[in-house]
Every structure is written in C-alpha cells, then in structure tokens.
C-alpha cells in the first residue's frame, strides 16, 4: 500500500517510458556550489547520476510485461542535487508563488525554497509573488516581496501562506511579460492541479518565446488527491487534526441517549481525509465519501441503518466528506468559483436536516451535534512529519530548477523523491478505490454495510 493506504494498481498501458521524460533547458555547464559542502568521498552517494530512476509501478507483473515486450520500464527521474547545474547562481533570479486554497505546510515550502536558494546555491534575487497569479498582473497593484532567509525565518510556525493566495485565471501573456521584465530564470509554483496546469501553460509559452526559464511545481492539496503521489504535503497534519474532531464528536454522542455526532470533512472528489481519520480514531460508525454512492431512504438506506445503530448502541458517529451525496441534494449548486471549480452543495447541513426530520417522523428522540472543522483543519501550522516533508520538497524543487529542468513537479512516489511531468499531474485526480483495501479497512472498522440503498 502507499502512504494513504491505497494499494498500487497496475500501470496504465497508455503510459510509456517516453511519457516520463522531463524537459531540460540546456546542457549543464556550471559546477554545483554544493560540491564544496561535502568531501569528495561522499559525492557518489549524495549527487544524482542521470541514470538513476524510480519505477512508476513496482509490481513485478508490470515489470515482467515490459520485459516480455522488449519495452523500456516506465520510471521517474530521481530528484536530488546534480554535480553540474544549468544556471549560474550569481546571475539568476527566482520567483515563488502560492495559488488556490490554503493547507498546512505552505509556509514551510516557501521557507525551504528560500533557504536552499540562498544558503546552498547563493542566489541573491528571490521574489515572492503576492496573492497567487494575481501578483503578476499590473492592474492589481500588488508589488512582489524581496525574500531573504531573514524574512522567512519564522513563517513555518504559522498556518496559511505568507505570500497570500487567490483563485481565478489570469493572463499568461501578462505573467510572461512580468517575468521578462524582472529577468526571472526560475519560477516555483506551489498549488493544486489547476495551478499546475497554469504553470505548464507558462512554461510552454516561455519555451515558445525562447526564454530560458525553469518552471517547477510543488503540488498542493489538502485532499491528497494528486495523481501518482504517495501523499501530498499537509495531508498528514490535516488527518491528525481531523482525528481530534472525531474524538470530540464521539464524546458528544456517548454523553446523551441517542446521541449523534455528525462531522463534515474536506474532500471534494476524494475521501482520503475522512477514511484515514476514521481508521486512526476507530470511533466512526458511518463514513460517507464521494467515491461510494449511498441512498438516504428505504430499508437499506443510510437513515434506516442509522436508526438500527442507535437502537443497538444508543449513539453514533457519522463522518461525511464534502463531495459525498451531491446527487441527493435537490437544490441547484452554487455555480463555479473564480478558478472554474464547481461550488459543491452543503452535504453536512443537508444530512443534519434529513436526520432530524427522519427521527421526528419516527417519533424517536435524538440529540444531534453537527461539526464542520474544514477551515480549522486547513489553516493550522504543519506538524513535524509535514515540516520535514515540505522542507525536502522545497529542497528538491530547487535542485531540479538549478539543473535546468522545467514543466515538472517534485513529489514522493514509492517513498522516493522524483520528478513528475506537469502534464501527468493534470490528467485527473487520485481517489479512494471502492474495491480496494483502504475502503475495505474502513468497512471493517465501522461495521457499516458495503452498500446503503
């Protein structure tokens, strides 16, 4: 299983070894400043040789299938420092931008990027683009910040993003113009799949214009739904905070006859936070996620099953991901946000009302407490496991950019840091497999029926 408890599935036959190639701006010709940090006897262990690769799919059946067909086994470039780099650190400028919703660890990544660029490579000019992609656009009047180790020294102790963020599509042409005026050679984009699609467009346009600009992404989502990654940064912190909320809901439920603790977690398309927190705490009796449809009514529906649980144990804890049960809510959604994302209907409030109405008709008194900790979970500072992960992501992103790589993101795959083409991240979302071991473990833990309705 991967870090999120999901068993690795066999590789899609549409992914070839060539699909995993990373564009490089040109041949490296500068000795890395990192060479002076270590004795020569350590170089072979620390610096990455271009022949080092990490398998996309470690399943022996997939590997044997490629060998039988005489095909190259698809693999990712290994992340890490190179002995020769593309950019002269004394003559290159870098920019950092955070986009989309916040999550734990954003400031940790910003700090890591600045510290590695400045202390390890000696880059003198590092710009912090404020308020997401808006910060590139002149009409918003938001000047960039000059980032130094001193300005970012303590930002990892706070949640949110030191640089600010925003949603919405901005003119790629204007972004490129800003980068040309500022002579930016490296752009680091910290954001989700939509932000990385924007970064890919920026990278491709710089290439068409003949600009030598490395665009490197650090993928971000609190929902842990980024394809190929073992986990996204901030997810471990979010799941940990979610656990404390479940404990609170359980305490409320067991304190009163027929007590119900209903908790809504983040997870628009993927229920990883809800599932992992349920497994960690082991107090949930129902877990409702976007990947597994359910019905409210009928003898096998959720409401009838909830009644059975209360009759048997006099309390229940229900966890629901925000994207679950959207087909059950009759009212129209709220359209789309500035980034084009669907505004989901509020399944938490909907379920609360439906549960109360159902038991009123059943003439059965219940005490329901509804908790929505979404913004608490995503706004807290990162915990130690994410502190370290964010630092290593930022460090490896700088190594990649300094070597002249572009149109890529850094991430953890099969517990190894690798370079992933941006276009692959934008292909879709990782989701909980309803037939996989993670969901099976949830069913075992909760005791809920495999199907409801």
Please report whether residue 80 resides in a domain.
Answer: yes
Q: How far apart are CA 311 and CA 292, in angstroms?
A: 25
**Domain range for 351:** 235-379+435-446
CA distances (Å), origin 12, targets 2, 16, 372, 436 = 17, 9, 37, 17
CATH number at residue 319: 3.40.50.460
Residue 380: C-alpha distances to residues 98, 104, 156, 234, 385 (Å): 16, 6, 11, 9, 14
Separation between Cα atoms, residue 400 and residue 427, nearest integer Å: 22
CATH of the domain at 38: 3.40.50.450
Q: What is the dihedral of CA 7, 13, 19, 20, to 10 degrees?
A: 30
In degrees, to the nearest 5, what angle opens at C-alpha 278 toward C-alphas 331 and 387? Answer: 100
Question: Which residues are CB-neighbours of 221 under 8 A, at least 6 positions away?
Answer: 103, 192, 193, 232
Go through 433-451 and write b for each residue having 16 or more CB atoms within 10 A of its CB, e for each that does not. Answer: ebebebbebbeebbebeee
For residue 266, the model assigns a pLDDT of 94
- 4 inside domain: no
Domain co-membership, 316 together with 219: no
Domain count, the chain: 2
Roughly how many angstroms between the first and final C-alpha of the chain, as a whole number? Answer: 30
d(CA 53, CA 287): 38
What pLDDT score was predicted for residue 12?
44
3-state secondary structure of 260: strand
Looking at the structure, tell me whether residues 174 and 43 fall in a common domain. yes
Tell whether 430 is covered by a domain: no
Q: Tell me the DSSP string of 18-32.
A: GGG---BSS---EE-
**Same domain as 355, residue 249:** yes
Looking at residue 425, its pLDDT comes to 87
Cβ pair 395, 287 in contact under 8 A: no
Would 86 be classed as within a structural domain?
Answer: yes
Question: In this structure, is residue 306 part of a structural domain?
Answer: yes
8 in a structural domain: no
Do 190 and 74 share a domain, yes or no?
Answer: yes
* 99 assigned to some structural domain: yes
**182 and 294 belong to one structural domain:** no
Q: Are residues 97 and 76 in the same domain?
A: yes
Same domain flag for 189 and 288? no
What is the sign of the dihedral through the CA atoms of 241, 242, 247 and 253?
Answer: positive
Residue 149 structure tokens? 């180790």
**Same domain assignment for residues 199 and 239:** no
Residues 57 and 190 in one domain: yes
Decide if 199 contacts 187 (C-beta within 8 A): yes
pLDDT attached to residue 17? 85
Q: Which structure tokens are listed for 62?
A: 């997939």
Q: Output the pTM of the full model.
A: 0.92
Q: What is d(CA 192, CA 186) in angstroms, rounded to the nearest whole number?
A: 19
The number of beta carbons lying within 10 Å of the beta carbon of residue 78 is 17
Pair (156, 202) in one structural domain:
yes
Whether residues 214 and 308 share a domain: the answer is: no
The two three-digit tokens of residue 56, written as one number: 């996309």
Q: What residues are annotated to the active site?
A: 223
Over its length of 453 residues, how does the chain's per-residue pLDDT go in tens digits? 344 554 444 444 468 888 899 999 999 999 999 999 888 999 999 999 999 999 998 889 888 988 899 889 999 999 999 999 999 999 999 999 999 999 999 999 999 999 999 999 999 999 999 999 999 999 999 999 999 999 999 999 999 999 999 988 899 999 999 999 999 999 999 999 889 999 999 999 999 999 999 999 999 999 999 999 999 999 999 999 999 999 999 999 999 999 999 999 999 999 999 999 999 999 999 999 999 999 999 999 999 999 999 999 999 999 999 999 999 998 755 565 555 556 689 999 999 999 999 999 999 999 999 999 988 999 999 999 999 999 999 999 999 999 999 999 999 999 999 999 999 987 888 999 999 999 999 999 999 999 998
User: Are both 60 and 157 inside the same structural domain?
Assistant: yes
- Measured CA to CA, the distance from residue 393 to residue 399 in angstroms comes to 10
Q: Give a yes or no: residue 2 inside a domain.
A: no
């Amino acid at each position: 299983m991967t870090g999120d408890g999901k068993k690795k599935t066999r590789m899609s036959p549409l992914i070839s070894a060539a699909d995993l190639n990373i564009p490089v701006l040109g041949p490296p010709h500068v000795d890395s400043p990192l060479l002076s940090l270590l004795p020569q006897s350590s170089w072979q262990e620390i610096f990455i040789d271009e022949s080092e690769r990490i398998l996309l799919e470690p399943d022996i059946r997939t590997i044997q299938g490629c060998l039988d067909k005489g095909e190259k086994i698809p693999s990712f470039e290994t992340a890490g420092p190179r002995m020769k780099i593309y950019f002269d650190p004394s003559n290159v400028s870098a920019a950092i931008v955070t986009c989309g919703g916040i999550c734990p660890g954003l400031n940790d990544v910003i700090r890591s990027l600045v510290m590695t660029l400045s202390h390890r490579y000696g880059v003198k000019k590092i710009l912090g683009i404020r308020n997401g992609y808006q910060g590139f656009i002149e009409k918003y009047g938001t000047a960039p910040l000059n980032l130094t180790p001193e300005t970012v020294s303590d930002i990892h102790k706070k949640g949110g993003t030191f640089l600010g963020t925003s949603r919405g599509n901005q003119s790629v042409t204007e972004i490129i113009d800003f980068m040309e005026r500022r002579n930016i050679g490296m752009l680091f984009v910290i954001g989700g799949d939509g932000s990385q699609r924007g970064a890919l467009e920026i990278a491709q346009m710089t290439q068409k214009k003949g600009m030598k600009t490395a665009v490197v992404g650090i993928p971000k989502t609190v929902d842990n739904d980024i394809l190929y990654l073992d986990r996204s940064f901030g997810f471990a912190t979010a799941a940990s905070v979610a656990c404390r909320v479940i404990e609170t809901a359980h305490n409320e439920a067991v304190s009163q006859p027929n007590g119900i603790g209903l908790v809504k977690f983040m997870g628009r398309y993927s229920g990883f936070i809800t599932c992992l927190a349920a497994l960690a705490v082991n107090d949930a009796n129902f877990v409702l996620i976007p990947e597994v449809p359910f019905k409210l009514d009928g003898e096998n529906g959720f409401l009838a099953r909830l009644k059975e649980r209360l009759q048997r144990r006099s309390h229940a804890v229900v966890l629901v991901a925000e994207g679950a049960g959207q087909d059950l809510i009759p009212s129209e959604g709220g359209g789309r946000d500035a980034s084009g994302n669907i505004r989901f209907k509020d399944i938490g409030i909907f379920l609360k009302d439906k549960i109360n109405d159902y038991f009123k008709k059943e003439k059965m008194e219940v005490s329901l407490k509804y908790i929505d900790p979404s913004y608490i979970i995503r706004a807290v500072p990162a915990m130690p496991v994410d502190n370290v992960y964010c630092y290593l992501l930022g460090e490896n992103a700088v190594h990649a950019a300094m070597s002249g790589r572009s149109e890529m993101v850094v991430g953890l795959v099969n517990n190894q840091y690798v370079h992933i083409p941006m276009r692959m991240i934008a292909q879709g979302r990782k989701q909980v497999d309803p037939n996989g071991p993670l969901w099976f473990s949830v069913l075992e833990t909760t005791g809920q029926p495999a199907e409801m309705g």
